[in-house]
Structure formats: structure tokens, C-alpha cells
Amino acid sequence: MAAPPAKPVLITGASGNLGRALARGLAERGWTLRLTDIAPFPDPLPQRARFERMDLAEGVDLLHFAEGCGAILHFGGISSDHPFNTVLGPNIQGLYHVYEAARRERARVVFASSNHAIGFHERPGQANDRLEANCAFRPDSFYGLSKAYGELMGRLYWDKHGVENVNLRIGSCFPEPTEARMLSTWLSYADLVRLCEAAVTAPRTGHCVIWGCSDNPASFWGRDHRDRIGWQPQDSAEAWRERVGGLTSGNPVTERYQGGGYTAQGYSRDEPSGRDAFALD
């Protein structure tokens, strides 16, 4: 376990399931935390933590709250698919305010990206077919599109301002897997906390992408930049294979693509798009 960071760490989206898990786990490691969300914080406030309720689309409050912070764990915003106008404020404007705060404070950003930024890549047929972190974006929803935008915002702020950022393409972060797809995509809460700890405390990260899943033999995903932060997951979805391995959707679109059910929502093609992101059908 690494020593706590010298400066406070800000967590946006602190009242959500993942934000609460991070607040609890990092507080137990002795971190000084600043927590924010548009919703009230539902748990007892951890030691060395303060909470302020705010809307990420209103940037001035966030800029003030981030003063003196060494890192921002950006888990705020809309966390599932919604119409574009709903996603726009929290996930696009809010993200800009986070990066402006990071630029001003010379802070590192750990961005909760998502597998839905690449959800229209087909599922691999074998282990050596796994997707690598430098693959083309293929978002499966307006939510996934906002996550691709977020990774590109990190690229811009690294190239133009030197703001380090670690983009976590989170798979399915729940207490346990609940269906067959999660045997490939599941990320345990404990692995998430260890991942964020490593992302904040690594000496240098630059701009990088890490697949946010536990040590799942059936993972869809291959090489990434985890060596930069020294993280290796310790949990695995395999313990749930007998229980959930047969639980599939029955929808051919859902089962074809890595993004699962998000790909099938509002789907109107007659034939699937090509495996090559830029090829004609």
C-alpha cells in the first residue's frame, strides 16, 4: 500500500456507488479527500474528508473546491445512456470544468471512462484477438460518446498543458457479476480502489488508457498502459462462472458487441457494421 498523497484528492460523483466505494477505500488508506456530487452524500463522512454539493456544469464552485488538490478522480456525470441533451451538461461541460481545475492546480486527472466508448467493437473469438488500448473509438451510445470525448479531452490537455491523465475504461463495476458478459468485463470494488490508488500515486503517467476490469481469463481486452502505474488486478470473475455463465440476453446485437445491451438500444441497421471500424459493409 502506497503512502497517502501529500495533497488532498478530489472525487467527483462521490455519492454514486463507485464514488462511495472509492471514498471509503481511500479514506481507510489515510487519504485526505474532498468529495462532491449533485446529490447528498448518503454515508457517514469519512475521516479527513469534506463534502460539498454542487453541479459540475457550474464551473466556478468546482474551481474553488479543487484549490490545493493534487489529483481529481472524475467519476461525476451521467453514468448510463440518456438522450444527448441530458448527457451534454454533466458529461461534456462538467468535464471541461474538471480539466480547467486540473490545469490551474497542476493536478492529475483520473477519468472514469467506459467500455462503452469502444462498445461497437465485436467480441473477440479467442484470447489473441483481444482489443488493445490504442484501438479506434466505436461508441455505442451518447453516454459512450461522452466517454470517448473525455479521453480526447485528456489528450488535448496533456499535449497543450502537460496535464497528466489516466483514463480508466471501466467494464462492469459491481459487487459481483450478474450475467455472462460480466465474466469478461467485471471489475471488483477492491480492484477499482487499488487501480485509483496506483493511478494517483504513480510517479509519472502522461496520457494513458487502462482497461478497468479484474483478472478475468475471458476478458475482451489486451494490452494497455498499466505498467506505467504498477497496477495488477487481484480479483477474478471466474468464481461466478457456474452461477452466471448461462445468463445471456438472447439478443443477437447485444451478444455480438462488447458494449452489450447499450448497442441494441435504438438499433436500426439491417445488417451489422464491419469488424474494421472504417471499412464499408
Q: Which helix (H) or strand (E) holds 256?
A: helix 252-256
Count other Cβ atoms within 10 Å, centred on residue 92.
Answer: 17
103 burial class (0-12, 13-18, 19+ CB within 10 angstroms)?
Answer: middle
Please say whether the dihedral angle defined by the alpha carbons of residues 118, 254, 13 and 77, taken in this order, is positive or negative: positive
C-alpha distances in Å from residue 247, one per residue of 126, 177, 220: 20, 11, 18
Contact by Cβ (8 Å): 33, 127: no
143 is catalytic: yes
Q: Measured on CA atoms in the order 18, 157, 202, 135, is the torsion positive or negative?
A: positive
Q: How far is CA 19 from CA 25, 77, 166, 257, in A?
A: 10, 11, 17, 28
Cell of 20: 462511495
Q: Is the C-alpha dihedral spanning 255, 260, 264, 269 positive or negative?
A: negative
Catalytically annotated residue among 99, 143, 157, 189: 143
Q: Could you give the CA distance from residue 10 to residue 23 in angstroms, rounded to a whole number? A: 10
Q: Are 144 and 121 in contact (CB under 8 A)?
A: no
Virtual CA dihedral for 200, 206, 211, 214, nearest 10 degrees?
A: -30
Mind telling me the catalytic residues?
143
